[in-house]
Each structure stands twice: as structure tokens, then as C-alpha cells.
Structure 1
Amino acid sequence: MSKIIFNEIQRKQLESNPNVASVSDRAIQYNAEFKIRAVKENMNGKGPTQIFMENGFNLDVIGAKKAQSAISRWKNTYKTLGEQGFLEERRGKGGTGRPSTKVISSEKKLEKAEARIKYLEAELELLKKLEELERQVKK
């Protein structure tokens, strides 16, 4: 997340840019067409700051590093998924997370299951006591 926080005037200025889909206090969402065009221009030799300035962005507002990091991310997406990577929602898809490195024995699994059962039973008892206390208070 960016350290830059956009004020109301800056957000309105960014939202008026046709290459912007939406703006929050800290983030700018760009249109897929702009991302594709920016990556292609960058691969043809244009620098990130030049691309952003030519497309109506004030680098004093968004920061030059934001332009460079955005183009860098977009190039990686373009190399792996092509133009289609920008046209479909991908958040949350394909994330494998960190795979577990340890193999759990059946004894350990049983031990964990028993501990969870014990915890849930204690939680149920607590809820029953709370309900009883609430009934007593109502009387």
C-alpha cells in the first residue's frame, strides 16, 4: 500500500482522467486498455514517467515511483498472461499460499481433532451459561 494519501482535490483530478477506473485514499485503479497500451509503449522504449505524463497524470500527485512500480507489475502480468491478464479479474485466483512443509502423522491429527472438540465443547458450555444468566436477568 502506498504511503501517499490523496486528498479530495487530488482524487477528483485523478478520477477525471479517462485512464483511471477508480481512486481511493491510497490507491489508483487503472483501466485495462491503459495498462496494455502502457506496457506496449514501455517495451518499445518509452520510460514509465513519460508514459504516465503523456496520458495526463501529474507525477507530483501520484509519485514517480508509483509509475515505475505499476509498469513493472503490468509487464510481469503481460509476460505471463498476455493482454487477457488485464481484461479479467484475477485477484484471489491461482494463489497457492505457502504449502505446508511438514507431514502430520495420524496421531498428531487425532490429537489436534481432540483438542478442537474440547475447545468447542467448552465454548458451548459457556454459551449455555450465558443463556441461563440472560434468562435469570429477564425474570
Structure 2
Amino acid sequence: MSKIYFNEHQRQLLEANPNVASVSDRAIQYTPEFKIKAVNENLAGKGPTQIFIENGFDLEMIGPKKAKSALKRWRNTFNQYGENGFLEERRGKGSTGRPTTSELSADKKLEKAEARIRYLEAEIELLKKLEELERKAKKHK
């Protein structure tokens, strides 16, 4: 997160820019269309600073390094996901990975519980065998 804090006037100026989706006191959320346009212009040879200035951003206000760091992130997203990477929300736990237990059907929950019981029973049997081997080893000493 940026160390820059935007005051009310700066937030209003930024929100007036058509390339800005929203602004908080510390962050700017850019529109997906601007991100796509900026990446394409950057790939065509334009520098990050030039792209941001031509699209109405005051680099003194948002921070001189903001354009370069934003474009670096956006290029990575573009290389990994293409243009759809800017149009779909990918942040947060719910976007990928295993479904949470609350999303599982009753049959799947039962199946999962039974598998866990089998695993724990096998673990107990293994520990019993280990204890038995340790007792036998002590007797033979």
C-alpha cells in the first residue's frame, strides 16, 4: 500500500478522471479499460510516465513511482491471464482453491468425515505397533 495519503480535494480530482474507478485515502483503483489500454501502449513502446500523464494523472499527486509499479503489476497480470485478468475479480479466498466445508453437500461431508476416521484409526494402529515394538526392545536388553 502506498505511503501517500490523499486529502478530500485530491480524491475528488482523481475521481473526476474517467480512468479511475474509485479512490480511498491511500489507494486508487483504476478502470479495467485503462489498465488494458495502458498495457497495450506500454507494449507498443510508450513509457509508464508518459501513459499516465497523457491520461490525465498528476504524478506529483499520486507519486512519481506509481506509474511504473502499476504498469509492472498490470503487465504481469496481462501476461498471465490476458485481458480477462482485468475484467474478473481474482483477489480473496473465494476465487480459487478448495471449496469450504460449508459449500460441500451432505454426502461429501460424510465421505470426508469417514476418510478422516479411517486415517485416524490407521494412525492409532501404527502407534500401538510402535509401542509394542518398543516394549519388546526393552525386554531384550
Give the TM-score normalised by structure 1: 0.67
Q: How many residue pairs get matched?
A: 99
3-state SS in 2 of match to 1:64 = coil
How far is the alpha carbon of 1:88 from its aligned partner?
A: 1.0
3-state SS in 1 of match to 2:65 = helix
The code of the aligned residue for 1:66 comes to K
Kindly report structure 1 stretches of 4+ aligned residues shifted beyond 6 Å.
Answer: none
Match of 2:38? Answer: 38
Gaps of 5+ in 2: 99-121, 125-141
Show the 5 A alignment for 1:13-92: 13-92=13-92
Match of 1:127? Answer: none
Match of 2:2? Answer: 2
Q: How many angstroms apart in 2 are the aligned matches of 1:52 and 1:42?
A: 11
Q: How many angstroms apart in 1 are the aligned matches of 2:81 and 2:53?
A: 26
How far is the alpha carbon of 1:106 from its aligned partner?
A: 4.1
